[in-house]
Amino acid sequence: MKNYLSSMVIFSFIFMSCNSAAQISTADKKIDAKVDSVLKLMTLDEKIGQMVLYTSGWDVTGPTLKSDYIDDIRNGKCGNIFNAHTVEYVRKLQKIAVEESRLGIPLLFGYDVIHGHKTIFPISLGESASWDLKAIEKSARIAATEAAASGLNWTFAPMVDISVEPRWGRVSEGAGEDPFLGSQIAAARVRGFQGNNLADTTTVLACVKHFAAYGAPLAGRDYNTVDMSQRVFLDVYLPPYKSAIDAGALSVMSSFNEFDGVPATGNRYLLTEILRNQLGFKGFVVSDYTSVNEMVHHGVVANEEEAALLAIKAGLDMDMQGEVYAKYLKKLIEKGLIDEKTIDQSVRRILSVKFKLGLFDDPYRYCNEAREKRTIYAPEHLEAAFDVAKRSMVLLKNENNILPLKKGEKIAVIGELANSKRDLLGSWKAAGDWNFIKSILDELKEYNGEKNVLYAEGCKKMGDDRTGFAQAMATARRADKIVMVIGEDAEWTGEAASRSNINIPGVQTELLEQLKTLNKPIVVVLMNGRPLVLAEENKLADAILEAWFPGTMGGKAVTHVLFGEYNPSGKLTMTFPLNLGQVPIFYYEKNTGRPIYLGNDKYKSKYLDSPNDPLFPFGFGLSYTTFEYSDITLSTNELQQDGNIRASVTVTNTGKRDGEEVVQCYVRDLVGSVTRPVKELKGFEKIFLKAGESKKVSFTITPDLLSFHRQDMTYGTEPGDFKMFIGGNSRDVKETSFKLIN
């Protein structure tokens, strides 16, 4: 009882001082003073407790090591929890922290709200294919609103890892292969999650992950070694992290992989030199799930105590789930291997964020049942999810304009995925509930009438059971057109979901081959989380619609796109290879000394058994209308160091339908002190054009946009000749040239 009372006294002291200080100002300086006043009251154990993050055990992505986290919260030994949500549960845990621990410091509640919390949006890779920053920001805004209404205050997103590795399952969580587009999307997502004010009850703290270069595992195998030059890291992989931090993200997650031989979680170059000293990051760094412990397996430390030492010295502030900080930081101080000041610095960063979230003013600010009830699945959230899902879809083929379908046409719908609700949500579905939603089949029936939609599963998405083929054939015979929904199981994408081949799994393609013998138009709808090898399917299908895992409203979105209620406007943000042997394949490759176009003899950079070109290039996507591009006009063809060039094209909608086009601008630096990519995206704009309408689209190119790490590793431009390309994808472009003057 005595302890309890004394803790209540201190608890009130913190709250009184915080409340009064909050009235004066919310500026950083004031927050620093408040943080100091709390820090002074803390024992070393309590400080270390703030550096600890445990899962509540609801959802885990690794082994659950800790079951007595509730006692740890009570004893001030755990300052942060993840995988706990709903107001009821969060309130219960927060109450223990605030009312039963000695100092009453509120908990952070984290969760993987990657593409929606309850209302699930398309997987992030799909959203990126919309090239629509406003829509992407809105999606993150809604995800934050729902998460915050469920008691959460921290999302482990955005994932901003650039990747050119479709074998890696986690490409589904990112924005694709391009650093320029990836940077803009990273910033849009941070703005969406954090809003203008972290203390607003509809915003959550963003966590930029996975720092760094996690998207480049060798052979696409998750958690595998990363080995890249510093130049590639700085020019290609770093920009989206930088952009997210510039947009105000106040937490960063270290990655599982090694970087230049040292695991990211213990890598001082990454966590301190780059992140703090160069990018000016002011928030805190959390490890990934047990990534501190895993440094033992990496073989850079002999035991977990050494792992704790390496991590804290590198600049890691919080240990996710590993219990390494909890067990060893105190010992390391006692042994004189680290100074308590190092601990104070990390605790300061963490507390400062808790103050910014307003948790010291009201630790239950995210715990309001009425708000939870009216926010989750709000009609406007579902409407936005429907909108983004439509915008994300990419029309890859449409021979003889067999799409859009016409209302009343008799269609045979084939495939397990057509009738799957679970898969619509994709991986990292947070608290998304598939029981609540409608499948593609449900929506097609609703739109086109039960009698016009015949269904046969045909086969499962996995396995080799062909017993349903006959029924599928019989069903297809009775229809005018066939719509086959094929792809991957949602669980085959995301974390720990690497694949050694990226074909359509199981016997789905075999069934497609049989259906082809019926000589009826075939539409393939794809549900998948990565670029796939689609050479066979591309031969068999008349039309292909890439729908990704489109989320809660995905069934309706697919239906509306198929029937032309929405004219598809998405463009690929990762190259789709022709075959697996081409991987890694991406549009910003280097020219090499023996580029294939120099001649067709053997000694060129090419394959003996395959073209170099992908099946679908970066930026590619069709529409139900067509667009024509004029030649490029430049405001000048000499770019001065303090000037800019305006590059313009006129785009005309030459078809019969209104539509949107993503106009893309690329450049090539022809000669550099180091080799330069054959194309780099430097601008894009998504425009709407009525049938027959023309619009002028202009891009401004500044020297800043042409900067890179030169041979001596300084960052800047080099004068000389450049090419500029503008078009509707990275392959089919208009071309001109300009000079950068010294």
**List of residues contacting ligand BGC (CB under 6 A):** 61-62, 112, 156, 209, 288-289, 495
Min separation Cβ 222 and ligand BGC, Å: 9
Yes or no: say if 144 and 197 are a contact pair by the CB < 8 Å rule. no
If phi > 0 it is left, if psi is from -120 to 50 it is alpha, else beta; for residue 337 that is alpha
Grouping H, G, I as helix, E, B as strand and the rest as coil, residue 423 is: helix
**Alpha-carbon distances, residue 603 vs 299, 327, 598, 599, 600 (angstroms):** 41, 59, 10, 9, 8
Measured CA to CA, the distance from residue 201 to residue 199 in angstroms comes to: 6
Read off the amino acid at residue 512.
L
Min separation Cβ 546 and ligand BGC, Å: 24
Yes or no: say if 494 and 173 are a contact pair by the CB < 8 Å rule. yes
Catalytic residues: 288
Per the DSSP assignment, residues forming a β-bridge with 251 are 207, 284
CA angle 30, 211, 326 (to 5 degrees): 65
Min separation Cβ 288 and ligand BGC, Å: 5
Per the DSSP assignment, residues forming a β-bridge with 42 are none
Residue closer to ligand BGC, measured from CB, 85 or 209: 209
Min separation Cβ 286 and ligand BGC, Å: 9
Tell me the HSE value of 622 on the side-chain side, using a 13 A CA sphere: 18
Grouping H, G, I as helix, E, B as strand and the rest as coil, residue 346 is: helix
Residue closer to ligand BGC, measured from CB, 443 or 495: 495
Residue closer to ligand BGC, measured from CB, 289 or 576: 289
Residue closer to ligand BGC, measured from CB, 325 or 738: 325
Min separation Cβ 496 and ligand BGC, Å: 8
Neighbours of 112 (CB within 10 A): 23
Min separation Cβ 504 and ligand BGC, Å: 27
User: Is residue 540 within a helix (H) or strand (E), and if so which, with residue range?
Assistant: helix 535-540
Residue closer to ligand BGC, measured from CB, 62 or 564: 62
Measured CA to CA, the distance from residue 562 to residue 543 in angstroms comes to: 10
Query: What does the chain come to in residues?
Result: 742
Residue closer to ligand BGC, measured from CB, 189 or 679: 189
Measured CA to CA, the distance from residue 611 to residue 625 in angstroms comes to: 29
Min separation Cβ 711 and ligand BGC, Å: 35
Phi, psi of 384 (to 5 degrees): -65, -40
Quote the DSSP letter at residue 235: I
Check whether the bond before 158 is cis (ω within 30° of 0): yes
Measured CA to CA, the distance from residue 157 to residue 210 in angstroms comes to: 9
